[in-house]
Structure 1
């Protein structure tokens, strides 16, 4: 036996160390896999709960829309509109809306105004200058900044028009 042979571990000892290293590595991989499985299961459970909540909310909203549509409400672009078949004054129409927990329509886009023209021949909307003559405001108090009517509208014909009506074109 040489001096080098005495400093070298025998083959059996090297194999044992290699087996231990493989076993420890395999054990660590198993622990890592278990941790990853637990994390992914938790993440998927959270996502499933979120999706289930969203589904339930959509079902509730659908039931609300179905309920309103059966009562004559119309849906457009995320809003519902009730169009009464009874002819009333602007004030009486607004009072009726308020009793239903809403108010007269505020038009925010040209598409929304085009939609209103399809609903009924003449229809009151939530625009008035009754507070200050010539200063048009929506029923929520915001001033009229953009309109989609013909030039000169809304106007105050003969100082008798304090409210706005959409007419079918």
Structure 2
């Protein structure tokens, strides 16, 4: 509030009542304006950034958890945290998740959404710097069959020997009942996941058939 006092010789003095603190005044110099909501904007921006980080981390955890084999889903959260903590979350791995890859220790897997021959499927994996899936353990076998799709894996008949795409010969197998059988005299030289309701789910089939497929790559190599 301003009070004007008339004095002799027409002198006017102005007394300021409830004068605002200097810290709350707007400065007239360029680049020094203080906006009332400036601090609030900064707080909102920082909060939004933290929410983005939390969401990204949650997406990674859920993707790992949801693709766990059914018989392992009863395991407690501590067990799963131990398993997933072996892969350090970083931007590169998160990019794979956005492209449709899933993680099951110790590899990343891509399950196709289209059908191709065995050779075409392998070529797609190689273009992704991966290869058709190699099954080394019972846990990995159960993981693969729970996608419930007719899928190619990286096993084929190489001059009479069942061989994985990395050149190793088959040692532990999960053939379905009566398989492999070269049904009808066909050259069934490639292997597909067919009998998903049972653990022994493999079937030999002509490599010219068209199926979905599963690519695999070592997750540890992607973190180097």
Figure out how many residues of one structure are paired with residues of the other and give that number: 110
Match of 1:142 in 2: 168
Q: Which has the higher helix share?
A: 1
Question: Once the 2 structures are TM-superposed, how far is the Cα of residue 111 of structure 1 from its aligned partner?
Answer: 1.0
Specify which structure has the bigger relative contact order, considering alpha-carbon pairs within 8 angstroms and separated by 6 or more residues.
2
- What is the CA–CA distance in structure 2 between the aligned matches of 1:66 and 1:122, rounded to whole Å? 27
Match of 2:60 in 1: none
Match of 1:165 in 2: 192
Q: Which has the higher strand share?
A: 2
What does the per-residue CA deviation read over 1:41-80, in whole Å, with 9 as the maximum and x for residues that have no partner?
A: xxxxxxxxxxxxxxxx9343xx233211111111111211
- What is the CA–CA distance in structure 2 between the aligned matches of 1:101 and 1:156, rounded to whole Å? 32
Q: Normalising by the residue count of structure 1, what TM-score does the alignment of the two structures yield?
A: 0.59
- What is the CA–CA distance in structure 2 between the aligned matches of 1:120 and 1:70, rounded to whole Å? 22
- What is the CA–CA distance in structure 2 between the aligned matches of 1:154 and 1:146, rounded to whole Å? 14
Match of 1:36 in 2: none
Match of 2:112 in 1: 84
What does the per-residue CA deviation read over 1:19-61, in whole Å, with 9 as the maximum and x for residues that have no partner?
A: xxxxxxxxxxxxxxxxxxxxxxxxxxxxxxxxxxxxxx9343x
Q: In structure 2, the residue corresponding to 1:95 is in which secondary structure?
A: helix
Match of 1:127 in 2: 155
The CA RMSD over aligned residues, in Å, is 2.0
- What is the CA–CA distance in structure 2 between the aligned matches of 1:76 and 1:58, rounded to whole Å? 13
Question: Once the 2 structures are TM-superposed, how far is the Cα of residue 150 of structure 1 from its aligned partner?
Answer: 2.8
Match of 2:88 in 1: 58
Q: Normalising by the residue count of structure 2, what TM-score does the alignment of the two structures yield?
A: 0.45
Q: Which consecutive residues of structure 1, in runs of 5 or more, have no partner in the other structure? A: 1-56
Q: Which consecutive residues of structure 2, in runs of 5 or more, have no partner in the other structure? A: 1-86, 198-224
